[in-house]
Amino acid sequence: MFPPELRAQVVDLLTRECGNNLPFAESLEEYGLERVRFAALKMSGGDLDKLRAAVEHAKIDSRDVLMGAGFGDSLTAHKEWARLTLGAS
């Protein structure tokens, strides 16, 4: 989604700012964090400023980001999106 020169920034942002520090995510493990991180990525559309905005919104209520990305009603929707969009398995 992001050009190679931005990928380190994206990983850093998601790791530092979009983890167990989020409201309602204190007890989430990698799987739960993956859903929120993928939701932020989806909402960004590959734009770093939009990713930052999605992460900032997740800091208020990560559930809104999940709903906004269409991942709120399914625990596996993010995996299907990642498979289709990112080629992730």
Q: Where are the domains of the chain?
A: 4-85
Residue 62 pLDDT exceeds 80: yes
pLDDT recorded at residue 14: 95
For residue 4, what are the contacts with CB-CB under 8 A and spacing of at least 6? none
Q: What is the Cα–Cα distance from 23 to 88, expressed in whole angstroms?
A: 27
Work out the pLDDT band at 82, boundaries 50, 70, 90. Answer: very high
pLDDT recorded at residue 56: 97
Work out the pLDDT band at 44, boundaries 50, 70, 90. Answer: very high
Neighbours of 74 (CB within 10 A): 12
Q: What is the Cα–Cα distance from 7 to 27, expressed in whole angstroms?
A: 27
